[in-house]
Chain A
Amino acid sequence: MSADRDADRFRTLGRRAAMLGGLQLGMLGVLGSRMYWLQVLESERYQMLADDNRINLRLLAPSRGTIVDRYGQPLALNERNYRALIVSEQTPSVERTLNTLTSMLSLGDQEKQRILKEVAKKRAFMPVLLRENLTWEQVAAVQVNAPDLPGVSIDVGEVRSYPLGDALSHVVGYVSAVNEAELKDEKEPVLALPGFKIGKNGIEKHHELNLRGRAGTTQVEVNAYGRTIRELARDDAKAGHRLTLTIDAELQKVAHERLRQEESGAAVVMDAHTGAIYVMASFPGFDPNIFSRGIPLDLWEELQSSPTLPLNNKASGGVYPPGSTFKMTTALAGLDSGAIDLNHTVHCNGQYPFGDHVFHCWKKGGHGSVNLTYAFAQSCDCFFYDVGRRAGIDAIWATATKLGFGGKTGLDLPYERPGLIPSTAWKKRATGDIWHPGETLSVSIGQGAVVVTPLQLAVMCARIASGFAVEPHLAKEIQDVGRERTDWPRLPFKQQHLDAIRLGMTAVVQYGTAARSQIKEPGMQMAGKTGSAQVRRITAAERERGVKSEQLPWKDRDHGLFVSYAPVDNPRYVCAVVCEHGNHGATAALVAHDLMLAAQRRDPGAIS
């Protein structure tokens, strides 16, 4: 090839190489601009996306506030829950490790299957739960044998514990796992934490928000597979508030044990002036410790189907006809409305004809001439028929409402029932029918449509004993939040009217229907009123045969009721007792005697 020809093609090559070089420079420019756009102009956005990738916000569960009684004795506290966990990537063979563990934790074959299944499902670095609520011996065994148990670790969680067990089950309630509806209802993210528990009943439920505390957060760096690399920042959880109850745990245990003798019933001991509840017992109860650890289905069904309704708090959620314990209300309505005066006297011959119907006194032969005090002492029905008839249903309704009946007392517990006090307006509303004056006579002795809770009976008694509109409550102090209210407005009743009622109640215990329940200790004497509530109406034929409540099957027998206050001259404590199917008020009065004696000896109201 000649030099000229080579020069020709070299010129072309050179030109075209320059063009390609220019093109390459241009392409490099594109790369550079793209990098500038990504790394400089849009960098902030991508920085954020990278942090989103790498940083996980995790919630830290707060420690639940403890619940203590008025003396600081624990009623609900957090116990350490030792759990054994296994991380599958840290052990050469999960199965071999499980076999080594078998004797230490007594793992069953089924449990092993569940663990292996979960190990297969989860990522290799995620811990799988082997067993919860380990005993100290089991924890020690696992830790001593740690070299032979690769991948196994012990982790400490919290489990709610209730030292009083079933003695206080209805008051403290229990905690349990959050369900779907609750999760949707309250959009609090901490509820979604695995194993998080919230109050489902009792104080645990009512004061849930105070007890729960505030969740903390931790920012952790994770890799693309979700494995935690390290913690970047931490905002510790704030524990729930400590809650002091007005309850006296020792007195509560006494009440629980005393009620055990009566098969089924409820008792409330309250401060007549402050409304602080020292005892709220409902028998039978349940063990809330089982609930907080997860209740087995068969036990749940057993509790649900028992005729004694152990899951119900009979003290505030059980309603009963008050029977003769309503007679204070009737008398006060009569006095307050001016329908009778303090010297009102009725002649009782055992019968009280009204309209075309004859109302009977419980005593066949009658009590003869009775005044207010004697009528209380003997619980003469005829006297109160007369007072009720004179006062009228609406006056009774007005007084009953002032004494705390016919509506929720506002106690800080869930599932309280309002009870019912009938009135002409209620009758019209409920049935569309007009009130028949005969119905007033039934209501006068606490029968008919009227139903009340044992708690309302205690409130009524406290209001009569103190003259103040006390309201019952269980929370004495919520740490950093507030204290109980102890001063209540005076009720609009005349002092001499209240004194007359108290005199009647004193007579009941001194020589009347509850004379067997007298407290002999000087300065601790109690005043009260018995009552019995028919569960099944005794037919005319049975009345003829003289059938007594005791002869009926258990579930048809009358309820026995008793309300009381003590000491008589300077009331401090009130007590309401309901013995389900206890036949008559005298049985309940014996329970009240024991409780009132114990209460006054311990005197929880002395310090407040």
Chain B
Amino acid sequence: MSWISASSRTSHAFGTPELSLAAKVWQISRVFVVLVLALGAVGVLGQYSAANGHMEPWAGRHALRFGVLFVGMIGIALIDIRFLARMAYPIYFANLLLLAGVEAYGKIGGLGAQRWINLGFVQLQPSELMKIALILGLARWFHDATLEDVRRPTYLLAPLAMVLVPVGLVLAQPNLGTGLMLLMMGGAIFFLVGVRLWKFGLLIACGVGAVPLVWRFMKDYQKRRVTTFLDPSTDPLGAGYHITQSKIALGSGGLWGKGFLLGSQSHLNFLPEKQTDFIFTLLCEEWGFWGGVSLLTLFAMVVAYGIFVGLRSRNQFGRILALGLSINLFLYVFINTAMVMGLIPVVGVPLPLISFGGTSMMAVMIGFGLILSVLVHRDSRMRNGEI
């Protein structure tokens, strides 16, 4: 295996290829960009329909945010991956502080479930950004790890803490959906780097053992979400109403849908939260089974592309980063769509790029930028301690 790839023109001090800005831009995948633009367009259409065929109040802002964040994505794609690796821990800890900060501010400010920091054009939700920061942190940690290192339980204590501390903070907010996503993401990365399966078994056993304890600390509304999920008929006008109406909307859409702007469930307000968590339902009611399957296929292609990028990278940091981010996207999509179909409890997870909401879009677009950065810098080789 050559130290210097064919595309490199100048030699770096660490022996890795150095790309010019133009070459980097050239390296950005056109296919990936088209896929992301397609998702953005579906999102704007969905928001337009959610407002009964108006740009206000959602579609216009959705498009604007997407445009700004698209430029940001390209910008992030151009950032040197070694710089990203160097910044991984600072970003992780800064985010952890932010998360602890809103938690403390929320408590002091007496605002209850206060999870927002106002940045002007978006309301920043640190828990959403924590997903990116955690992937960066774990990628950085396992970048240095050989398989032998990974097999040593003591080596795993630090990354385990990196997962569990933010999970604890997010659950305390309380934000069940994001907490579970962080946990699954951490688990997926542990799995990818080669942690033995029996160790997962042990952890899951511990987790199951902790269920009664966790139940005690859960808020009433969270308990209700779980019980309503297990038997939606217990509360047909409350939490179960959302799922019942969502299933009616989906089912009545049929094979080909009712047509754009013609979803009766959505437009007559039987569907709750149609511009945010239940946007997939609206799209499936109007575009039918084939529309929904097409949208899922679009997401699957983006996820597959992320995995492809991860496996193309020559450095472990980039591999873990790209794989982790694609898994993150997959989790978003799966949890959201499974929820609106009544497969899992109602947890507040948006559909990336489609649901209205700044933070999740920002987190996903940053993630896409990072995946592109991994792609652009796929031939950067970083030795142990060479960052």
Contacts and interface: CB of A to CB of B under 8 A. Distances in A.
A binds B: yes
A590 interface: no
Interface string B237-274: 00000000101111111110000000011011110000
Contact of A50 (B146, B265, B334): B265
B252 A43 contact: yes
Interface in A415-470: none
Interface in B291-329: 292-293, 296, 300, 303-304, 307, 310-311, 316, 319-320, 323, 327
A42 interface: yes
A8 interface: yes
Interface residues on A, range: 35 or more
A5 B247 CA distance: 51
Contact of A46 (B1, B252, B316, B330): B252
Contacts of A540: none
A266 B283 CA distance: 76
B51 interface: no
Given A24-B303, A35-B289, A39-B253, A16 B191 contact: yes
B250 A38 contact: yes
A295 interface: no
Nearest to A19: B191
Interface stretch (B34-42, B83-91, B337-345): B337-345
Query: Could you say which of A10, A24, A38, A222 has the most chain B C-beta atoms within 10 Å of its C-beta?
Result: A38
Given A32-B293, A40-B254, A53 B248 contact: yes
B79 interface: no
A136 interface: no
A206 interface: no
A9 B311 contact: no
A156 interface: no
Nearest to A224: B269
B384 A1 contact: yes
A204 interface: no
B251 A9 contact: no
B194 A28 contact: no
Contacts of B384: 1
Contacts of B253: 39, 43
Interface in A4-20: 5-6, 8-10, 12-14, 16-17, 20
B353 to A, nearest CB: 17
A221 interface: yes
Interface string A14-37: 101100110010011011101110
B307 A17 contact: yes
Contacts of B327: 20, 24
A229 B250 contact: no
B333 to A, nearest CB: 9
Contacts of A9: 145-147, 150, 193-194, 316
A229 B254 CA distance: 23
Contacts of B343: 30-31, 34
Interface string A570-590: 000000000000000000000
A54 to B, nearest CB: 5
A3 interface: yes
A42 B252 CA distance: 9
Given A6-B316, A53-B264, A224-B268, A35 B284 contact: yes
A303 to B, nearest CB: 48
B192 interface: yes
B334 A35 contact: no
A34 B284 CA distance: 12
Contacts of A45: 251
A47 B251 contact: yes
B188 interface: yes
Given A14-B311, A32-B293, A35-B289, A49 B252 contact: yes
A20 B191 contact: yes
A322 to B, nearest CB: 69
Contacts of B188: 20
B199 interface: no
A459 to B, nearest CB: 64
Contacts of B311: 13-14, 17
B288 interface: yes
B223 interface: no
A51 B188 CA distance: 43
A40 B290 CA distance: 10
A14 to B, nearest CB: 6
B252 A50 contact: yes
B383 A221 contact: no
A28 B331 CA distance: 11
A21 B307 contact: yes
A177 B233 CA distance: 40
A223 interface: yes
Interface in B169-204: 188, 191-194
Interface residues of B, number: 52
Secondary structure type dominating chain A contacts: helix
Contacts of A38: 247, 250-251, 341
Contacts of B303: 24
Interface string A164-199: 000000000000000000000000000000000000
Given A43-B251, A43-B252, A53 B194 contact: no
Contacts of A51: 252
Nearest to B148: A5
B296 A17 contact: no
B139 to A, nearest CB: 12
B252 A223 contact: no
A34 B289 CA distance: 10
Given A9-B147, A24-B303, A47-B251, A17 B269 contact: no
Contacts of B330: 24, 27
A1 B334 CA distance: 37
Given A17-B323, A47-B254, A53-B270, A5 B147 contact: yes
A20 B254 CA distance: 31
Given A3-B1, A14-B311, A16-B191, A39 B147 contact: no
B262 to A, nearest CB: 12
Contacts of B146: 1, 5, 8-9
Contacts of B147: 5, 8-9, 12
A158 B60 CA distance: 50
B310 A17 contact: yes
B193 to A, nearest CB: 7
Given A36-B289, A46-B248, A54 B194 contact: no
Contacts of B316: 6, 9-10, 13
Nearest to B245: A53
Contacts of A6: 316
Contacts of A36: 289
A335 to B, nearest CB: 82
Contacts of B268: 53-54, 221-224, 229
Nearest to A7: B1
Given A20-B188, A27-B334, A224-B269, A13 B252 contact: no
Contacts of A8: 146-147
Contact of B264 (A5, A42, A54): A54
Interface of A: 1, 3, 5-6, 8-10, 12-14, 16-17, 20-21, 24, 27-28, 30-32, 34-36, 38-40, 42-43, 45-47, 49-51, 53-54, 221-225, 229
28 contacts: A1-B384, A3-B1, A8-B146, A8-B147, A9-B150, A12-B194, A13-B194, A13-B311, A13-B323, A17-B310, A24-B303, A30-B343, A31-B296, A32-B293, A34-B341, A34-B343, A35-B341, A38-B251, A39-B288, A43-B254, A45-B251, A47-B251, A49-B248, A50-B248, A50-B252, A50-B270, A54-B268, A224-B268
Given A34-B338, A42-B251, 19 more contacts: A1-B146, A8-B146, A13-B194, A13-B316, A17-B310, A24-B300, A24-B330, A24-B334, A32-B293, A35-B292, A35-B293, A38-B341, A43-B255, A51-B252, A53-B245, A53-B268, A54-B264, A221-B264, A221-B268
Q: Name the 9 nearest CB pairs between A and B, nearest first.
A: A46-B251, A50-B252, A223-B268, A39-B289, A224-B269, A12-B194, A43-B254, A47-B252, A38-B251
